[in-house]
Chains A and B, each alone.
Chain A
Amino acid sequence: MQKHKKNSGKRMDQIAQITDEERDILQEIMNIAFGKAAADLAEVVNIFVVLSVPDIRIVDAADLPDYIRTEFSGFGNISIVEQNFWGEFRGNALLIFPSDSGKELISLLGDGHPVSFESQASDFLENETLMEVGNILIGACVGKVAELLKDMVTYSPPRVIIEDHPSVSMPDTLFDPENSAIILKTVFCFNERNVNGFLFLITSHNSVAWLKKALADFMEQYE
């Protein structure tokens, strides 16, 4: 317990090193990155993505499950597409949809017509669709952040987690409670399908020192 307290103190020092200006730069970079991700998705499927202003928060990773539970308290079930990324910029990307969204999205990757399948085939297709959409959005978004900050990242394969009751069973194993986390959140809407989704990039405090330098380097061209 004592050790945890000590580590928490150290984390808070590191968190405090992210200035308001650095947070603003990161928000703008996330804005650019998600714009690129939306355009990439729109090229693959016939859909228009309505973007929102990204939100940047820095929290203790131990509080992340509670944070996500609160964010999704109004939802029933949710589907999470999770993908890890590694570079100097490293962390978890979580793309979260209300769980019926998979069915809505299936026809996007097909010919645009409604589809009906046996239950098992439908579940499989729904997962595949979520993974495909997740792969495009996460890859383009994380890739653009990395490109702007002159980094190169590799990715784990995406996986889909279906959560029946996010208020009680968010997967705590996704988060290392010993770390702090920078949350980059974007809310988006697939207009024609009335589907809302949330993209979180969660990066650990280990990336903070690199991130600060990369943000300063990025802004040098604007001095």
Chain B
Amino acid sequence: MINVILIVDDSPISRKMLKSCIPKDGGYVFYEAGDGQAGLEMYMKKQPDVTFMDLTMPVMDGVKALEEIIKYDKHAMVIVVTADVQAQSIARVMEIGAFLVVKKPPTKENIQEALAKAQEKLG
């Protein structure tokens, strides 16, 4: 069951766009972070069920944050939402342990589909 969602992206607009794609009647509790380091700390503090993670960020990028989160919690459910759609970037984050990669800009369809897959996996 997904209750707590963490959104990690340096762009407030991007966080807003992503959040607006998630059904408002889902009863989710949201937390947000503006860089990978803050995202990692927030992950440890709030233990989200699903984390949406951007890749290109200052302070700590999303790849490093993903690595650290997976190191901390090998069952972490991290969905990468990125503009970096190079095959090599996607392969790399999937290898590290991302659950899915969603291309920016987010849409209601691709975000809700990703959430449904995450829900199915979590059981």
Q: Are A and B bound to each other? A: yes
- Do A52 and B11 contact each other (CB < 8 Å), given the known contacts A35-B84, A38-B86, A42-B86? no
- The reply to whether B85 and A36 form a contact with Cβ atoms under 8 Å apart is yes
- Taking the closest CB of chain A, its distance from the CB of B103, in whole angstroms, is 8
Query: Cα distance A51–B84 when bound, in Å?
Result: 8
| In the complex, chain B residues whose CB is within 8 Å of the CB of A42 | 86-88
- The reply to whether B87 and A53 form a contact with Cβ atoms under 8 Å apart is no
B122 within 8 A of A: no
Q: How many residues of B contact A (CB 8 A)?
A: 23
A32 within 8 A of B: yes
* A-side interface mostly: helix
- Residues of B at the A interface (CB closer than 8 Å) are 10-14, 16-17, 20-21, 56-58, 82-89, 104-105, 107
| In the complex, chain B residues whose CB is within 8 Å of the CB of A33 | 83
- Best-buried of A27, A28, A48, A53 by chain B (most CB within 10 Å): A28
Query: Cα distance A178–B12 when bound, in Å?
Result: 34
18 contacts between A and B (CB under 8 A): A21-B13, A28-B13, A28-B104, A28-B105, A31-B83, A31-B104, A32-B83, A35-B56, A35-B86, A42-B86, A42-B88, A48-B89, A51-B84, A53-B10, A53-B56, A53-B58, A148-B105, A222-B21
